[in-house]
Amino acid sequence: MIKAMKFRLTRSILCAVGAACVALGSTAQADEWPEDNIRLVVPYSAGGTTDLLSRKVADLLQRELNTVIVENRPGAGSTVATGQLARGGRGSDHMLLMASPGHTIGAAIYPNLRYDPVEDFVFVRNVINIPNVMVVPGDSPYNTVAEFVEAAREQELSFSSPGIGSSIHMSGELFKNLTKSNLVHVPFRGSGEALPALLAGDVDVAFENMPTVYPHIQSGKLKALAVTTPNESEFLPGVPAMQKAGEGYGLENYETSAWFGLIAHKSFPEDGLVTLQKALDTMMSGEDFQKFLPQFGAVAGTEAGDDFRKFVQDELAKWSEVAEQANLKR
């Protein structure tokens, strides 16, 4: 009888320990990030390039994680949404921002923002890079970067952009500074106005995002003189990289692109960051993501974590200098 009592007692203890382990396991599993829906904030209006890319990333990323809800919060060149994220608060451990060149350009033009574009954030990963393209009208007399620079040093030429402070505008200002050319900026209210002006020859050149001008390059209505990334683009074979095309004209270190990456508030949980980066690795190596990139003439980003943070710091330094030289600081 004593043996039977010992057996029943031992079995009770084992059951209790087992139940406790199950409960602990369930609690740990329930607390794993993300326990809630993820909000991906787009700091621009719906329908633009950043919005379209963000919605595709959200769709693919939620296959690896919880539901990803896209929210558009436009305003002041992306600084409204970025400032809101910087303040943190409730829900910030499930909130991401699709950052782009506006993140650093906005901070370069408005140095007195109420947030630090580097210190107030965690840099998750650069996801997509899209080259800018130096394009001239199809009937332009200029066929190379060298020819264009020579002419722009002798006479006043114009370059268009969809607005002051856009990556397209700043790419032109950087080109102007490095080549010491007589370029005049002509801003428009969006690409819907800037592109027709370029096609009509009302301006001499633009440094547009590839998706905007690609079909017009293919049709011959525009001529591509160079891509603004260090290497040629597989989508524009035969078009040189700016650094090579502009050798001897101050462009040996010229580099710009439209980059799109995920950042979070500085309090973002460490386990969430690890989980998110693993999910992004899986997403970006997947067939659907790889098939999506050519639609924008894009390539996958390579920087993550500290490398992405350093990339953003370098971008901020570059655009701060350009903003200073172009008298754009506010």
What distance in Å separates the CA atoms of residue 304 and residue 313, rounded to the nearest whole number? 13
CATH number of the domain that residue 224 is part of? 3.40.190.10
Domain co-membership, 233 together with 269: no
pLDDT at 17: 44
> pLDDT band at residue 30, thresholds of 50, 70 and 90?
very low
Q: pLDDT tens, 169-206? A: 999 999 999 999 999 999 998 888 999 999 999 999 99
Residue 330 lies in a domain: no
The pairing of beta strand 183-187 with beta strand 222-227: unpaired
According to DSSP, residue 296 is labeled G
Domain co-membership, 263 together with 316: yes
Mean pLDDT (the chain) is 90
What percentage of the chain exceeds 90 in pLDDT? 84
Residue 194 structural domain: 131-245
pLDDT at 31: 60
Place of tokens 């008298």: 327
CATH number of the domain that residue 270 is part of? 3.40.190.150
The pairing of beta strand 95-99 with beta strand 38-42: parallel
Q: pLDDT tens, 222-236? A: 999 999 999 999 999
Residue 31 lies in a domain: no
Q: pLDDT tens, 74-97? A: 988 899 999 999 999 888 999 999
pLDDT at 66: 84
Residue 2 lies in a domain: no
> pLDDT band at residue 7, thresholds of 50, 70 and 90?
very low
Domain co-membership, 143 together with 125: no
Domain co-membership, 169 together with 220: yes
User: Which of residues 199, 217, 245 is at a domain's end?
Assistant: 245
User: Which of residues 218, 245, 272 is at a domain's end?
Assistant: 245
Higher pLDDT residue, 124 or 5? 124
User: Domain total for the chain?
Assistant: 2
Domain co-membership, 291 together with 310: yes
